Amino acid sequence: MTRTNFFRSFLILSVFGLCLHGCAGLTERGGAQLRPTVTPMPGKALIVFFRPPTYITLVDSARAPVFEARNSESAPETGGKDSKPEIIGILNAKTMTAYQIEPGRHLFMVVGGENADFMTADVLPDRTYYVLILARPGKFRVRFSFKTADKQEQGSKDFKEIIASSTLVAKTTEALDYAASNMRSIRSRQYQNYRQWTQKPESERPRLLPDDGA
């Protein structure tokens, strides 16, 4: 399935539920506030992580914690299993979060009930990037994965409608508390799944490229 068809399928599945020009708030649980304009800070890159709905209740009700895996002494590809996870936010279905970051190479992780997925990023200053958090049923619990959006996808009607229906959320004390109280299991999943991720073909490992930003 092409990326364009992927977004079309999401629109078809969600046509009865999308609010194309709704309000958005800055709380983890939502809220009816106007969405602010989010742009990169001077000299920074901005990555917008967003989670389209599946309209499968058990899948959409699961929360997706997103992390940057930091390791200043190693390249992302070699230091991933040992990098310290720093939480960016926790995404429910139809939410998104905006993350200001230094230009250069980074490694990100999303943790599911049965897995952790990873994405490398090489970003440029003063550009905005978009990354989907995809959810799907696992054997017993929900699994999450990354999917990057290039400029062609960002210009599509389907993509813009998904973004317009998403609520902007900020990192909250609830997210920080979750990361602190669950860090042992988070690190365990990181260590186990990163090795599996590096053994996949390069084409199957999500990568955010410099020119994906606008």
What's the CATH code of the domain at 70? 2.60.40.1120
Q: Judge whether 187 lies within some domain.
A: yes
Q: Judge whether 154 lies within some domain.
A: yes
Check residue 30 and give its pLDDT. 38
Residue 186's nearest CA partner among 106, 72, 67, 93 is 67
Q: Judge whether 184 lies within some domain.
A: yes
Q: Judge whether 213 lies within some domain.
A: no
Check residue 19 and give its pLDDT. 33
Q: Are 46 and 38 in contact (CB under 8 A)?
A: yes
**Distance between CA atoms of residues 14 and 163, nearest Å:** 13
Output the tens digit of pLDDT for each of the chain's 214 residues: 444 444 444 443 333 333 333 333 333 433 333 344 589 999 999 999 999 999 899 899 999 999 998 764 444 554 556 678 999 999 999 999 999 999 999 999 999 877 899 999 999 999 999 999 999 888 888 899 999 999 999 999 999 999 999 999 999 999 999 999 999 999 998 988 998 999 999 999 999 999 999 9
Q: Judge whether 139 lies within some domain.
A: yes
Q: Judge whether 214 lies within some domain.
A: no
Check residue 112 and give its pLDDT. 84
Number of domains in the chain: 1
**Distance between CA atoms of residues 131 and 96, nearest Å:** 10
Q: Judge whether 183 lies within some domain.
A: yes
**Distance between CA atoms of residues 167 and 27, nearest Å:** 9
Q: Judge whether 35 lies within some domain.
A: yes
Domain span at 44 = 3-208
